[in-house]
Amino acid sequence: MSKHKPRSGSKAFYPRKRARKETPSFKTFPMVSGEKAKPLNFYGYKAGMTHLMAKDDHQKTTTYGQNIVLNGTLIEVPPVKVFGIRFYSKDVGGIKTLGEVWAEKKDKHLGKKILGLKARNKPKKQAFEKSLNKTGHEAQEGKEKAKEQKQKKTIADFEKLKQELEEIRLLVHTQPYLTGIGKKKPEVSEIALSGNIEQQLEFAKHKLGGEIKIEEVFKEKQFIDVRSVTKGKGFQGPVKRFGVKTSRPKAKKTRAVGSISPWHPKTVMWTVARAGQMGYQNRTEYNKRILIIGNDPASINPKSGLPNYGNMKNEFILLAGSVPGPAKRLIALREPIRPVPENKQKISEISFISVRDSK
């Protein structure tokens, strides 16, 4: 029986171009109920992969009660620092930024990411207003609004606008200098919070200038979503990029698509396999189970260190399965937004985790 496979590769990801930035971020977050506000996402660095043995707890499998082998991904998760609070108000089709408050003391490494950090709090010179396009009344209203926006710099000012607030998020930066990857420049992103505005405001005030640890966000055995930029492979042809069959040796081109389009209509459809960028694209994977949240990295570090990463020095998590991206790549972690599969990677009694040197 002949196998018909003109191409492979999902058509769901278009355009296949390089990611705009290497720091992944989530646009949507699930609704999590609770008495107190809690962070909904976190960040960590991919350290590498390993394999483990554990007892299968899924009753409807043939291996129920037996030891099975699983592969897992190690992600180092040093605490993230909260350097600001951002306030959002409701807008047409979403939310818009109302303002933000920054902590008085900031990490010295944050200036490597945000240029002009020391001069940020200094008052800016007032821009010259063109009186030709504005009437005196409109110019006066603009001055009053600008003055009002300048004065909204403290949390107390935003507390008076609770009715306008739609959401509060934390401005955080990672601490790669606590790891051994040889990086000092932090990544800056947002952390969303659960709960109502009062709960979010109370949590944000408590955490401003402090740190958030992984234990405050996730628990063992729960599912999470991961997002990162995949490993870049550069410009590749259709054979490697889409798995197109090579032509016979007598053809003009062996590693190309034989016919890309008809003469009429003279157009090349986007579904035709073409050469282009492969990898270094944002990808999200859903429902990855956290097997371990560990505080002792020495217990899982190989003697010679993890390949292309070295030894972990901070808290870490062990996820079942693989995670997109190479070693040292920043991984975004989030509360699951899709229905949780109860029996996926349902294991207990982890009896063995490989720490063997691969070198």
* Amino acid type, 95: I
Q: Are 202 and 37 within 8 A, CB to CB? A: yes
| pLDDT in the model for residue 342 | 86
Q: Where in the chain is the domain with CATH 3.30.1430.10?
A: 80-117+137-212
Q: CATH code for 80-117+137-212? A: 3.30.1430.10
Name the 3-class secondary structure at 139. helix
Mean pLDDT, the chain, integer: 89
Q: Where in the chain is the domain with CATH 2.40.30.10?
A: 41-78+215-232+279-353
Q: Does pLDDT of 61 surpass 80?
A: yes
* CB burial string 145-180: b at 16+ within 10 A, e below: eeeeeeebeeeeebeeeeeebebbbbbbbbbbbebb
| pLDDT in the model for residue 131 | 47
Give pLDDT tens digits for 151-192. Answer: 557 889 998 888 899 999 999 999 999 999 999 999 999 999
Q: CATH code for 41-78+215-232+279-353? A: 2.40.30.10
